[in-house]
Amino acid sequence: MELLSKAKTGKVERPVKVLQFGEGNFLRAFVDYMIDIANESGDFNGDIVLVKPIEFGTLDRFHDQECQYTVQLRGIVDGEPKRINRIVTSVTDVVDAYGEYEKYAAYAKLDTLRFIVSNTTEAGIVYDDTDKIELNPPKSYPGKLTKFLYERYRHFNGAADKGLVMLPVELIDDNGIHLKECVLKLAALWNLEEGFTNWVNEACVFTSTLVDRIVTGYPRDEAEELCKEFGYQDNLIVTGEPFALWVIESAKDISEEFPLPKAGLPVIFTDNQKPYKQRKVRILNGAHTSFVLASYLAGNDIVLESMQDELIFNFMKKTIFEEVIPTLTLPKQDLIDFANAVITRFNNPYVKHALLSISLNSVSKWRARCMPSFLGYIEKEGKLPEHLTFSLAALMAFYTGTEIRDKALIGHRGEQEYNILDDAAVLEFFAANSSKEPREFAHAVLSNEDFWGQDLSSLAGVEDAAASYLTEIRASGMRKAMEKIFCIINKESNRNERLYENQRKR
């Protein structure tokens, strides 16, 4: 079977506008995919050069296929499961920053270059005071970027129109702000002239971004079958979900230079990404964290299975729509639309997302993802959010175990063992406390300020409710406990709704 190549795709060569640090699956199925669509629509007209920013690994597959590859998006579209194929031709070349340093460095002098994209993992944007400008290239990503920008500054004599726009997609808050801080610190460390610092501040743009798409990567088990379907050999196939969101925050408006929304792409330009970050963390991530532990103990193993379980599905929906959304600040319809999209994503038949993998570090996840909604609801409504409170009890039930083996606390689902993975101090706490009676255990967990940053047991009613839920879980098992508790709660909720409706009619 013929290997995919530029000749086979009929690639149109365009000016190189984007240098991308990272050649991994996410960037290729997200950024490069979007730029490909914008090229096709005539809104962008720019190619991408990928940079391998680390010493190990090979670029042979990219060279063999001349950087052409297929993205297959899989998921629910218009209510039906679909597979959407696209051959991406926006990448024109790939370069090894270590093995081909001169070729890599020459891109700093390219007149058409305007954007720098990066995904060097969360650990990539760090200031390393041992890095050196004399290295070819410097060892850290900020070091590489600083030297690259300095070479460009010198080549173009500090021309204001030759600054670059940085688009980091590393999953850290304010990624662009931290990246710029690293660049300026390195410039000072390396005693680079003041003119360069001014150029970085005035001619360059450091955006902070929020990205969202599940990318499942190379479909190893299906690759041969897919290539037969495509009619060509592709060793760079990447799969992902149809949903995508890219929020770009910057002080300077770059929407005309990077007009992806004109091509119908889900890109939002803003001067404040925090509400979108809050929406994602509390609805998408918060939903995961609030239901997965209860779902696992109720007998499910993956997210899709949980969505097909009416008990868990209803628990999740009520958590999102009745307890999370009321605490958020974006327009309500935006929040509802996003929540419905999240539910569609959770129902993706092509993604087998294991509940135990999501359960990793659930204590810190609950604090970051669920606790703001939990506290916000109490403040706004003056009462406990029943489903989020129950999720706390479910966390206690899931973290019940007395034996630590191979750095994991051993839990039990019936006769089956499972590994609870978290920081050593967290596991040691639960091993020492989870055999206590429900009220004593609940008090120990809720009053642990190292977990929550405050004493949750001091909140009115929280300890009583959590202990009551935990008692029922231990006595009846998770599924029967949820059926009993939420049947009662739902009947009470329905009764209150009927009373309100009758009063309104009068």
pLDDT tens digits, one per residue of 396-450: 999 999 999 999 999 999 999 999 999 999 999 999 999 999 999 999 999 999 9
Taking the C-alpha atoms of residue 26 and residue 213, their distance in angstroms, rounded to an integer, is 8
3-state secondary structure of 21: strand
- Pairing of β 238-240 and β 69-77: parallel
Taking the C-alpha atoms of residue 117 and residue 111, their distance in angstroms, rounded to an integer, is 17
User: What radius of gyration, in Å, describes the C-alpha atoms of the chain?
Assistant: 26
- 21 close to 81: Cβ distance less than 8 angstroms: no
Looking at residue 490, its pLDDT comes to 63
Looking at residue 493, its pLDDT comes to 54
Q: In the structure encoding, which two tokens stand for residue 456, read together?
A: 């949750």
Q: How many residues does the chain have?
A: 506
Sequence-ordered strand ranges (E) for 364-454: 404-405, 408-413, 416-420
Q: Is the pLDDT of residue 495 over 80?
A: no
- The percent of residues in the chain predicted with pLDDT above 70, rounded, is 96
The whole-number average pLDDT for the span 265-290 is: 96
pLDDT band at residue 499 under the 50/70/90 scheme: very low
3-state secondary structure of 371: helix
pLDDT band at residue 236 under the 50/70/90 scheme: very high
Looking at residue 123, its pLDDT comes to 78
Q: In the structure encoding, which two tokens stand for residue 260, read together?
A: 């992806």
Question: Tell me, what DSSP letter sits at residue 325?
Answer: G
pLDDT band at residue 254 under the 50/70/90 scheme: very high
Residue among 175, 107, 99 nearest 141 (CA): 175
Q: Is the pLDDT of residue 492 over 60?
A: no
Q: Name residue 48's beta-bridge partners.
A: 18, 91
Taking the C-alpha atoms of residue 373 and residue 368, their distance in angstroms, rounded to an integer, is 10
> What pLDDT digit, counting tens, does each position of 151-171 carry?
999 999 999 999 999 999 998
Looking at residue 503, its pLDDT comes to 42
Looking at residue 487, its pLDDT comes to 80
Q: Is the pLDDT of residue 494 over 80?
A: no
Residue among 67, 65, 38 nearest 52 (CA): 67
The whole-number average pLDDT for the span 321-345 is: 97
- 142 close to 126: Cβ distance less than 8 angstroms: yes
227-231: long-range pairs with CB below 8 Å, 24+:
227/1, 228/1, 230/70, 230/85, 231/1
Looking at residue 465, its pLDDT comes to 97
- The percent of residues in the chain predicted with pLDDT above 90, rounded, is 95
CA neighbours within 13 Å on the CB side: how many for 214?
19
The whole-number average pLDDT for the span 206-218 is: 96
Looking at residue 289, its pLDDT comes to 96
Taking the C-alpha atoms of residue 22 and residue 211, their distance in angstroms, rounded to an integer, is 15
Sequence-ordered strand ranges (E) for 342-465: 404-405, 408-413, 416-420
> What pLDDT digit, counting tens, does each position of 19-35 carry?
999 999 999 999 999 99
* Displacement of CA 288 from its chain's centroid (Å): 12
3-state secondary structure of 211: strand
The whole-number average pLDDT for the span 210-234 is: 97
Q: Is the pLDDT of residue 478 over 60?
A: yes
Number of alpha helices (DSSP H) and beta strands (DSSP E) in the chain = 23, 16
Residue bearing tokens 């008990």? 311
Looking at residue 131, its pLDDT comes to 98
Q: Is the pLDDT of residue 388 over 90?
A: yes
- 352 close to 74: Cβ distance less than 8 angstroms: no
Residue among 240, 204, 346, 291 nearest 486 (CA): 291
The better pLDDT of the pair 498, 320 is held by 320
Q: Is the pLDDT of residue 385 over 70?
A: yes
Query: Across all residues in the chain, what is the average pLDDT?
Result: 95
Looking at residue 121, its pLDDT comes to 77
Q: Is the pLDDT of residue 501 over 60?
A: no
* One-letter amino acid of 121: T
